[in-house]
Amino acid sequence: MAEWLKAAVLKTVVPQGTLSSNLSLSVVIDAQANPVRYIRAGSPGAKKRESMDKEISTTKIAIFRKQEIRKTIHNNEWFFVVEDVVLALTDSSDAKQYIQRMKQRDDELAKGWVQIVHTLAVQTTGGKQRMICANTEGVFRIIQSIPSAKAEPFKRWLAKVGYERIQEIENPELAQKRTRALYKAKGYSEDWIEKRMRGIAIREELTDQWQKRGIKEQKEYEILTAEISKATFDMTPSAYKKHKGLKREDLRDHMTDLELIFSMLGEASTKEIAVNKDAQGFVENKQAAFEGGAVAGNARKELERKSGKKVISKENYKKLPQKKKLLK
């Protein structure tokens, strides 16, 4: 990354007194919206550019003062779930109602609302859902209508997230490192993190194959995922979450080591079957999902029979001893 861009972004991330500098803020917003303009020829980011031409459907969790802010990549920039932003900045227990009241108070915000926000598919613990999201610029506008002592720290946090996105475009390995660091900060063991990261990679390989094989609709992805889960664990993801006492949390972030291993086996087997049988379209891939899940399901049952202990657990990690300093 050019030194002038680093300096401009850092000026925004760590301001001397306030974030009112329109120049440095516009650099962050513009760099997120048009990242290719800030990638030098020959850099890792430039080499990866061709594979980024299509929209990346990645969703991650960011942390602001222990509050989870869901974010998803759309047109190569981060979009944040507006409800999560509101919950992070207010004491409201009903984000939807707060947003409605906010628009009633601010006529200009209400008039420009459809330009500020986008309804995007965001990964949730129950699968992908359509949610109201806004990019950095849109979130800054929304914050103007929220009286909160947390507003300025949140602006600095938001600018930092944008800076990290630019870094990740130049060096995709940074995204993995940050994910590992986040899990470590939450208190997970190194062995668990290793399995979780491998599971993420296997999941991406599977969804890439589904896309190549004609799976387009989000509902189809959800059905195929549920098919693997039912064959592997005798439960859909939503039933599994209920079994573990989860609501909005990510199911796989609360799986034991063995549960992660069998999840990986089910999805890796599904991918192999789909590729080797050249499954095309939803019907054939659904059959491959059932067969792949059955491979993992049969292995799970065999282990349970020989060990005398159930793999499926009610255990969750909601009370991990988080390392607070790393989560700030």
Q: Is the pLDDT of residue 8 over 50?
A: no
pLDDT of residue 73: 84
Q: Is the pLDDT of residue 280 over 50?
A: yes
Residue 245's pLDDT band (cuts 50, 70, 90): very high
Q: Would you say residue 320 lies in a domain? A: no
Q: Would you say residue 316 lies in a domain? A: no
pLDDT of residue 63: 56
Q: Please tell me whether residues 153 and 13 are part of one structural domain.
A: yes
pLDDT of residue 306: 96
Residue 215's pLDDT band (cuts 50, 70, 90): very high
12-21, 246-255, 263-272, 308-317 — which is least confidently predicted? Answer: 12-21
pLDDT higher for 235 or 249? Answer: 235
Q: What is the mean pLDDT of residues 34-43?
A: 33
Q: Please tell me whether residues 119 and 193 are part of one structural domain.
A: no
230 φψ region: left (φ > 0), alpha (ψ -120 to 50), beta (else): alpha
Give the mean pLDDT of the chain: 76
Q: Please tell me whether residues 53 and 199 are part of one structural domain.
A: no
Could you tell me if 132 and 142 are in contact, meaning their C-beta atoms sit under 8 angstroms apart?
no
Cα–Cα nearest to 35, from 66, 72, 2, 82: 2
Q: Please tell me whether residues 17 and 142 are part of one structural domain.
A: yes
Residues whose CB falls within 8 Å of the CB of residue 157, separated by 6 or more in sequence, listed in order: 64
Q: Would you say residue 176 lies in a domain? A: no
Q: Please tell me whether residues 247 and 152 are part of one structural domain.
A: no
Q: Is the pLDDT of residue 295 over 50?
A: yes
The C-alpha atoms of residue 249 and residue 85 are separated, in whole angstroms, by: 17
Residue 24's pLDDT band (cuts 50, 70, 90): very low
The residue among 171, 192, 216 that closes a domain is 171
Query: What is the extent of the structural domain holding 187?
Result: 183-307
Per-residue pLDDT tens digits for 78-106? 898 999 988 888 878 898 999 999 999 99
Q: Would you say residue 16 lies in a domain? A: yes
Residue 60 host element (H or E):
strand 59-64
Q: Please tell me whether residues 89 and 222 are part of one structural domain.
A: no
pLDDT higher for 110 or 12? Answer: 110
pLDDT of residue 322: 56
pLDDT of residue 169: 54
Residue 317 host element (H or E):
none
Q: Would you say residue 24 lies in a domain? A: yes
Could you tell me if 235 and 170 are in contact, meaning their C-beta atoms sit under 8 angstroms apart?
no
Q: Please tell me whether residues 189 and 139 are part of one structural domain.
A: no
Q: Would you say residue 80 lies in a domain? A: yes
In total, how many domains does the chain have?
2
61-65, 287-291, 316-320 — which is least confidently predicted? Answer: 61-65
Residue 161's pLDDT band (cuts 50, 70, 90): low
Phi/psi for 63 (5° steps) reads -120, 125
pLDDT of residue 167: 58
Could you tell me if 44 and 171 are in contact, meaning their C-beta atoms sit under 8 angstroms apart?
yes
Q: Would you say residue 17 lies in a domain? A: yes
Cα–Cα nearest to 138, from 122, 158, 161: 158
Could you tell me if 259 and 192 are in contact, meaning their C-beta atoms sit under 8 angstroms apart?
no
Could you tell me if 121 and 129 are in contact, meaning their C-beta atoms sit under 8 angstroms apart?
yes
pLDDT of residue 41: 33
Could you tell me if 203 and 58 are in contact, meaning their C-beta atoms sit under 8 angstroms apart?
no
- Four-residue CA torsion sign, 308, 314, 320, 326: positive
Q: Please tell me whether residues 146 and 230 are part of one structural domain.
A: no
Q: Please tell me whether residues 163 and 238 are part of one structural domain.
A: no
Q: Please tell me whether residues 126 and 13 are part of one structural domain.
A: yes
pLDDT of residue 324: 39
Q: Would you say residue 42 lies in a domain? A: yes
Phi/psi for 118 (5° steps) reads -135, 145
The residue among 136, 151, 171 that closes a domain is 171
The residue among 171, 201, 233 that closes a domain is 171
Q: Please tell me whether residues 114 and 240 are part of one structural domain.
A: no
Could you tell me if 110 and 97 are in contact, meaning their C-beta atoms sit under 8 angstroms apart?
no
The C-alpha atoms of residue 309 and residue 278 are separated, in whole angstroms, by: 37
Q: Please tell me whether residues 16 and 152 are part of one structural domain.
A: yes
Could you tell me if 8 and 30 are in contact, meaning their C-beta atoms sit under 8 angstroms apart?
no
